[in-house]
Structures are given as C-alpha cells and as structure tokens.
Amino acid sequence: MNELYPLKFIPQFYTKPWGGKNLSKIDSLKNAPAEKCGEAWLLSGVEGRQSVVSNGFLEGNELNELVEVYMEDLVGEPVFNEYGETFPILVKLLDTTEWLSVQVHPDNDLAMKHHQVPFGKTEMWYILKATDDAGLINGFKTKTDSGQIQKAIENGTLSQKLNMVKPAPKDAYFTPAGKIHAVGPGLTLAEIQQTSDFTYRLYDWGRTDNEGNPRELHIGNGLSALNYDDISTGKTEPVRLGNTIDTLVNCAEFVTNRITLKAAQKVRREYISLDSFVILLCVEGDAVYEWDGKEETLRKGECILVPAIADDLLISAKNGAEILEVFIQS
C-alpha cells in the first residue's frame, strides 16, 4: 500500500438565501457561484456530501473511503476507536448578507435519540471579515427556562432575550451543542464543527420561501436541546503557546490552534505524539508546507488533511500567513 500524504479536497459550494459574493473572490474558491454563495464545504465526511481528494494517487477517492482503508494511519488510533469510519470534523467557510435563523444543535445523546447517529454538533467560528453592520447571537442574556422561551417564540420577542455580539476579524467564538445562536449579516467566517448537519430552527425572522410559505421550525426538538443556563457570548481568549501559536478552542470534540507567520517566517509543527489527524486551514495569505522533500502551496481558502502517521510538518510563508490547525486531543 502506498504511503499516505497531506490530502487536498475539492470544495463543495452551496447557495443560500442569505449568501453573499465574497467566497468567489478567494482565488482558491474562484469556482464558487458569484451570487448567494453561503457555504463552501472544504472538508466533510457527511453522508451524501463527502469531500473528494484532489491531489496525489488518491485523487477521486471520498474521505470516508480512505478512513475505512487506512484507519488509524489516517485519523489516529484513539480517533478511529471512537468514531469508526466516519471522519469526525466538518470544515466550512460561510459568507452572509442576512441573519441566519436563531437555532440550536443537538448534543451526541440527542442526536442518537432523534436521528440515530452518534454525532451532535459542537462548533466554533473564526471571523475573517466583518462589515460595520455585522452581528452574531450567542447565548441567553440571563438564565431562563423552556416556558419563557416558548412564550417568547410565540410572541416574536425571542431576540430580546439573546446576547447580541459585535464581531471583528480574528475573533473566535465557541458554540457547544445546546447553545442558542445565530450568525448575522456582513460576515465571512470559518466554521469548524463535528460531522453533523442537524439544526433545530427556533425563529427565522419572518422569512418565507419562494411560494410565500414560512420556513419549517423545530420548536419541540429545539426546546429539548437548549442549555437554558448558558449566558456566555462564547468569545474565546487566545492562549499563547509560543511565538507563532495560540489556542483558540480546546474542547472534547476538537482543538483549534492559530498559527501566525510573518513574512519569511517558518515553524516546524511536531505531530508525532498527537495520534490524531491534523487539519490545516489557511485563512489569510499563502503558506508553503514541506512533505517528503517536496514543497506544496496552501492557499487562502484551502485546507489539507495531514495523516496521523506524520511526525512533523515544516510550514513557511513568503509574505505572511494565518492558519487554523485542528485535531482531536486524546
């Protein structure tokens, strides 16, 4: 069997009523629709929406096929033992011109109860761009209960009970399963989450579809999923690990570090002790990584999947770059 290597993937694009124009302006995503492109799925093991490899001898293979064949060599032994043949992390870029629905995601237990799948949806956002009118909702203003929230949904006052946040570029927000939230207009952001696309919409700002019908809400499931004690805005404070590295999110589902390289700066990332895959997502500038004596470019908007068998990776940037580094901590 040929040896694994850092894998690149073909991005998948999805138009949304709230989508914008910014994703198609990123060179690596120039095939995105020019209008209403709300999401670019960069790395996905979601059934029916799996990422396909775009480089090397594994070109054309779906992600979960590779997990099945290479198992712990690709994802790490602890990861494979826990998650099996489904890749556990989904990576997207979002671009918004309107408010998305006020929503909540199930945790692992509720996902199994309602959907017979083991993954809930804990996620984080990293802000790439924010206009003057950009906004986020994350968490309740004060502790509450299902009765109060159901009444607020019915009388249209739900938004008054929620934390309205003014995001800025380079901000990171953590949104665990059970946290009420909504992404607002004027944002381009990276979203890193569990491999799940289950969303319970609680409020949708009175929007209707092309036939004038309101979008489906999921009040019952949503109320059962909410953490009514979560009053945090979710904004994280970076924890410095070294000259070029800080940690943005460290949770059971994933760890996200930020690598910041100045012009002509290099960093060698040691992965031998992780026993996990590593995702590198370039969110600013272009980077170069060295593998097996060869140099490859990682452009803004691209991600690579570094296999768990990798000992290390040398990363550099001619003109500076910013990279999100994602893995699962055993």
Indicate the SS3 state at residue 325. Answer: strand
Nearest to 28 by CA among 309, 310, 303: 303
**Cα dist from 196 to 46, 60, 222, 278, 279, whole Å:** 7, 23, 16, 19, 17
Q: Is 201 a catalytic residue?
A: yes
Q: Are 181 and 165 in contact (CB under 8 A)?
A: no
The answer to whether 271 and 307 are in contact (CB under 8 A) is no
Cα separation of 36 and 20, whole Å?
5
CA 177/CA 108 separation, integer angstroms: 8
Choosing from 201, 258, 269, 299, the catalytic residue is 201
CA 139 from centroid of its chain's CA atoms: 18
Catalytic residue set: 201
